[in-house]
Structure 1
Amino acid sequence: MSVTDTQATMESDLDRAVEELKVGAERWAQLPVADRGALFRRVHAAIADVAEEWATTAAEAKHIAPSAPYLGEEWMTGPYGALESAATYARSYEALAAGGSPLDGLDVGTAPGERVAVRVLPRSAQEWVLFNGFQAEVWMAPGVPERQVRDEAGLRAGAVGEYGGVGLVLGAGNISSIAPLDAFYELVAHNRASLVKLNPTFGGLLGVYRRALAPLIEAGVVRIVNGDAAVGGYLTRHSGIDKVHITGSAVTHDAIVWGTGEEAERRRAENDPRLGVPITSELGGVAPVIVVPGRWSAADLRFQAEHVATMRLHNAGHNCVAGQVVVLSADWAQKDAFLAELRRALATTPARDTWYPGADAKVARAAEAHPDAEHAGAGLLTEVAAGDPACTDEYFAPVLAWTQLPGQGAEFLSAAVSFANDSLSGTLGANVLVRPQERRAMGDAFDDAIADLRYGNIAINAWTGMSFLLPGATWGAFPGHTLADVGSGVDVVHNGHLLDRPERTVVTGPFRAFPRSVLHGELSLFPKPPWFGSSRSVTDTGRQLTRYATAPSWGRLVPVLLAAFRS
């Protein structure tokens, strides 16, 4: 068969898939809300059936050996995340079908700046035990009243009779749950069927995905295909596609919207996008880790250094929320001690290969831009200042930078927030590490500083990677980006309680792990997080956590806790 014939066959197959999705979206529009919830219960069961194959196939795609100590990451960021999402959407549908709201049973409070805050973790007694010491809130925009938040929750999930069309989901190639979760959100929030084009790195997962999402495929609202850039290009220009969603880079987004080279320059000047349909996006960025100075013990320094190293080295650094610039106080007496522990943590975290295409070239580019960078384990550590490439180029690789600003307490935090907002590219995720004593001493000034951080996901004594996996959390850039200046993207995904126009998610965790947390007055029984690079039980914890998510019960929760406490 000639190249021309092969291309024609490919295009014919894609055309047929789009037509099938149109029919499926029309049927979905008429499907009662209760039946939609029941369908997501079947999706949940289908994911459970392929969970082990999903995790192991994702590991193979990343060249992770079965004996690797970090194999459990693939359980947590793959089938576990998908299971939690499917279950949460099912519950939201069930609440709407019963005449209620997806917010029923959730605490709704306030946040700084006249914001409404919806508590999305913990939502149950089991979650309180499982994530003891952690909480998560979705903050709405300033001035939106609680009544409006409640009335508008649900988005289009309860809109029977509304045809949402067919969307194109361009899947990411770094975390295996991203593409399915994006398709879920298109369907639940917008009644839109999805043609999911996988990133080539996850081409081997095609069969797993098709079995996991079989109920949606049989209903005609999801189709999943492999393909290269040519397939993506054909689909973005397809007359049957009503909307595009991409998880990836701003460069790819802009090529889709504006083209490349002279064409892009002309179209930008004329404000004439080549893409004729709406597009939403999650595009990453340069994530800060703000370290508020205080009097830390040796154990505190060691624990939080491991925390920062994990933010950078998880998934070999191929994460859109991998902490990239650590912001320290130049006046912190323990700054050098912290940096020494950070070097040790980077060097002793189990080594892993940079598997994502182009990562080695990015590391080489970072090394060339920073000839004085230290080699720590498999990565680089370098000091930078505002304007450095590390502040504007998301490396997506094991490269960690640090910078220092003057000040202590609220003065330092205010300066660090300004640096993150004004000097770092992107608005997806920011992390803040602060000892409880310093947080209390700052009072309202601390809360106001968090409100001033223009990021769609903020983690206080936690990592924004948690926000990605919490099904009730929102995931996306801070509002305000446009097609012309897309930053970290437009709109959100996940959002299991279907909040309308959320501003951000804020996750808060304990400064210390159990038992030191209790010894220092923090009421948290959470051990060293199993996602830490130094965890000894991440694989067992990931497997047990996924088993728990297939059928949550107190009996299945116990093995998760036992595994986690061996970390």
Structure 2
Amino acid sequence: MTTTSPATPHEHSPEARIDLDSALTRLRAGSSEWTALTAAGRRDLLRRIRSAVAGAADDWARIAAASKGLEPRHPLAGEEWLAGPYAAIVALDAYIGTLDALARGRSPLAGVRTGTAPGGRTVVHTSPLNVADRILLSGYTTEVWLQPGVTAHEARDAAGLASRHPLRSGGVGLVLGAGNVTSIPFLDVLYELLAEGRVALLKVNPTQDALVPVFERAFAPLIEAGFAAVVSGGGDVGAYLTRHPEIDHVHITGSETTFHAIVGSGDDRLRVPITAELGGVSPVIVVPGRWTAADLRFQAEHVATMRLHNSGHNCIAGQVVLLSRDWDQREDFELELRRAFARTPKRPVWYPNAAARLEHVREVYPDAEWFADGTRAIAVGDGEIETTEYFAPVLGIVDLPGTGAAFVDAAVAHANERLTGTLGANVLVDPVTQHRLGSPFDEAMARLRYGTVAINAWTAFGFLTPTATWGAFPGGTVDDAPSGIGIVHNALLLDEVERSVVRGPFRPFPRSLGRGRFSVLPKPPWFVTSRTGRAVSEGFARFRIDGRIGPLLVTLARAFGA
């Protein structure tokens, strides 16, 4: 997420302006050629991009880790494999499948199972759709819920978006890239091209300047054809580009402050449409139940991962844990949560202004408990932590009354009404309690006004699944969009989406053999407490790239050492 604000155009040099104008002129010419490219042609182009990403994968992961102050063998360096090359490859594979279906005159939803959700919503079961997902991500599923009233038949007919009607040009789009997760700019460019029919100019966030050569290598087939360009620079460059007459649309992943600065007001009001992903304060709803000691430890590490991944510099991070004050295991869970914060490997707090935000938290929450030499904190109590996205490793705990359905209803209402944003919500519930709650639990989940709802999973899984969707809950406007407008990813190119729902196993293997959702995975490699997370994450990415079974077996064996 970028924190820089647009500055006045005159701050960058005339030479830089000439280069930007030249890039946009080439893209304008390329937009006509992109429009004329068939689904089969686009599919073949993506296959070339896939080869380019595979060739750049090692540099991508290494440079990304270094930019965040991590040595290549740091226990958490695996994050950069999953959030970089892995995310790019699985997205390309999914888009290639969609374009291949369109090239053959089929709907991308042909053979994809559908169902219904509360409120008569149509549900598209978007993963797993292949054997690799069933093996690597055992026990995890995603669904896309369409807006009420959209039928399965209508969804199949509409799937494909701009790639279904390639003769309709979307012009030139500007992508203002995120500064925190390296796959975001890459994925946003793909969505501009395939879902919106626009060629794209990517302006890289300054925090990722070191990755510009990697992006240029990955996008080389697009750049050579005039379908994409990559530029760098600060807020002055962003300001110049957002007001440029050759830009037809703006997409940003960033802060709400930056978004409003771009939109402007009065005579400086942005003249073109804008979509955005702006983060928010994400809840972690912990439903009271009867948990074993192993459950308490595992789910505490799960919550720590939601907050401490990428040193907390994630719009996707869980920030406020909603706990029942009437849960008789509440103190046990809090103790395990503190232990997880303490044993997670130390890492730099690297994002611009994050250190200042941590100091601010010390002032606002003087009783907060600090860990890892004062670089991460847990604060108990409501207040600012519910309305301000800290974008730093600070977790809040807020008490609510009740147990069972009463607690679930109170937590859903609190999340909807008190927490800023609508991007993602996480819910942890043991299988016995979920079964006992029955359909009212499902109805409560439908009332959560979030673009992604994860049940016994982290919403990041939805982000990482290309056939799921990512973005704010529908309803944001340029004047009121705390988590943004529109969606991205969505590799099945579905129309009229309301949200994605992720479901995961409450317990890892071998404890998943009992009641509940089965998984062959032990501790997932993305857990910040996984001892083998770096090696397993890299192994997963390499398998997605080359499909070699031998190294995958070695990787899976390592996973059981977590």
In structure 2, the partner of 1:177 is 183
Moved more, 430-439 or 154-163: 154-163
Task: Report whether the alignment pairs 1:549 with 2:560.
Answer: no
From 361, 373, 376, the equivalent of 2:371 is 376
The correspondence of residues 261-340 of structure 1 with structure 2, limited to 5 A, is 264=265, 267=266, 274-340=269-335
TM-score relative to the length of structure 2: 0.96
Spell out, residue by residue over 1:323-365, the C-alpha distance to the aligned partner (whole angstroms, 9 max, x if none).
1000001100000110011111111111111000010111111
In structure 2, the partner of 1:17 is 23
Secondary structure, counterpart of 2:162 in structure 1: coil
Task: Report whether the alignment pairs 1:137 with 2:136.
Answer: no
Partners of 1:519 and 1:440 in 2: CA distance = 14
Q: Residue type matched to 1:176 in 2?
A: T
In structure 1, the partner of 2:77 is 71
Measured after TM superposition, the shift of residue 105 of structure 1 is 2.4
From 61, 85, 88, the equivalent of 2:67 is 61
The correspondence of residues 138-287 of structure 1 with structure 2, limited to 5 A, is 138-258=144-264, 264=265, 267=266, 274-287=269-282
Spell out, residue by residue over 1:406-441, the C-alpha distance to the aligned partner (whole angstroms, 9 max, x if none).
111111000000000000000001000000000000
Measured after TM superposition, the shift of residue 522 of structure 1 is 4.0
* Contact preservation (8 Å) 1:392, 1:425: yes
* Contact preservation (8 Å) 1:162, 1:191: yes
Measured after TM superposition, the shift of residue 552 of structure 1 is 3.1
From 417, 425, 429, the equivalent of 1:430 is 425
Measured after TM superposition, the shift of residue 561 of structure 1 is 2.1
Partners of 1:244 and 1:521 in 2: CA distance = 44
In structure 1, the partner of 2:501 is 506
Spell out, residue by residue over 1:526-564, the C-alpha distance to the aligned partner (whole angstroms, 9 max, x if none).
211101111011111121111111133655543442232
Partners of 1:167 and 1:311 in 2: CA distance = 32
Secondary structure, counterpart of 2:164 in structure 1: coil
Q: Residue type matched to 1:136 in 2?
A: T
Measured after TM superposition, the shift of residue 521 of structure 1 is 5.3
Measured after TM superposition, the shift of residue 39 of structure 1 is 0.3
Q: Residue type matched to 2:16 in 1?
A: M
Consecutive unaligned residues in structure 1, runs of 5 or more: 259-263
From 26, 45, 53, the equivalent of 1:47 is 53
In structure 2, the partner of 1:540 is 535
Moved more, 155-164 or 505-514: 155-164
The correspondence of residues 488-499 of structure 1 with structure 2, limited to 5 A, is 488-499=483-494
Secondary structure, counterpart of 1:326 in structure 2: strand
Q: Residue type matched to 2:443 in 1?
A: D
* Contact preservation (8 Å) 1:200, 1:227: yes
* Contact preservation (8 Å) 1:548, 1:560: no
Measured after TM superposition, the shift of residue 374 of structure 1 is 1.1
* Contact preservation (8 Å) 2:423, 2:472: yes
Secondary structure, counterpart of 1:478 in structure 2: coil
Call closer, same or farther: CA 1:135–1:75 in 2, change over 3 Å: same
Partners of 1:4 and 1:534 in 2: CA distance = 48
* Contact preservation (8 Å) 2:136, 2:540: no
Partners of 2:553 and 2:220 in 1: CA distance = 31
Secondary structure, counterpart of 2:527 in structure 1: coil
From 390, 396, 399, the equivalent of 1:395 is 390
In structure 2, the partner of 1:363 is 358
Partners of 1:535 and 1:312 in 2: CA distance = 15
TM-score relative to the length of structure 1: 0.95
Secondary structure, counterpart of 2:161 in structure 1: coil
In structure 2, the partner of 1:480 is 475
Measured after TM superposition, the shift of residue 239 of structure 1 is 0.5
In structure 1, the partner of 2:348 is 353
Secondary structure, counterpart of 1:324 in structure 2: strand
Consecutive unaligned residues in structure 2, runs of 5 or more: 1-8
Secondary structure, counterpart of 1:156 in structure 2: helix
* Contact preservation (8 Å) 2:107, 2:160: yes
In structure 2, the partner of 1:518 is 513
The correspondence of residues 401-480 of structure 1 with structure 2, limited to 5 A, is 401-480=396-475
Call closer, same or farther: CA 1:521–1:384 in 2, change over 3 Å: closer
Measured after TM superposition, the shift of residue 310 of structure 1 is 0.7
Measured after TM superposition, the shift of residue 90 of structure 1 is 1.1
Partners of 1:443 and 1:320 in 2: CA distance = 31
Q: Residue type matched to 2:299 in 1?
A: Q
* Paired residue total: 552
Secondary structure, counterpart of 2:484 in structure 1: coil
Measured after TM superposition, the shift of residue 23 of structure 1 is 0.8
Q: Residue type matched to 1:475 in 2?
A: W
Partners of 1:88 and 1:160 in 2: CA distance = 18
Moved more, 204-213 or 375-384: 375-384
Q: Residue type matched to 1:105 in 2?
A: G
Measured after TM superposition, the shift of residue 376 of structure 1 is 2.8
Q: Residue type matched to 2:68 in 1?
A: K
From 560, 563, 566, the equivalent of 2:558 is 563
Partners of 1:412 and 1:223 in 2: CA distance = 50
Partners of 1:53 and 1:27 in 2: CA distance = 31
Q: Residue type matched to 2:378 in 1?
A: L
* Contact preservation (8 Å) 1:126, 1:554: no
Partners of 1:522 and 1:98 in 2: CA distance = 36
In structure 1, the partner of 2:523 is 528
Call closer, same or farther: CA 1:553–1:498 in 2, change over 3 Å: farther
Secondary structure, counterpart of 1:381 in structure 2: strand
Call closer, same or farther: CA 1:178–1:122 in 2, change over 3 Å: same
Spell out, residue by residue over 1:348-402, the C-alpha distance to the aligned partner (whole angstroms, 9 max, x if none).
11111100001011111111111111113331111122xx110000000011000
Partners of 2:108 and 2:344 in 1: CA distance = 41
Q: Residue type matched to 1:10 in 2?
A: A
* Contact preservation (8 Å) 1:195, 1:222: yes
Q: Residue type matched to 1:244 in 2?
A: V
Secondary structure, counterpart of 1:50 in structure 2: helix
* Contact preservation (8 Å) 2:431, 2:516: no
Partners of 2:558 and 2:103 in 1: CA distance = 38
Secondary structure, counterpart of 1:244 in structure 2: strand
Moved more, 121-130 or 188-197: 121-130
Spell out, residue by residue over 1:240-291, the C-alpha distance to the aligned partner (whole angstroms, 9 max, x if none).
0000000000000000002xxxxx5xx4xxxx76100000000000000000
% identical equivalent positions: 52
Q: Residue type matched to 1:46 in 2?
A: A
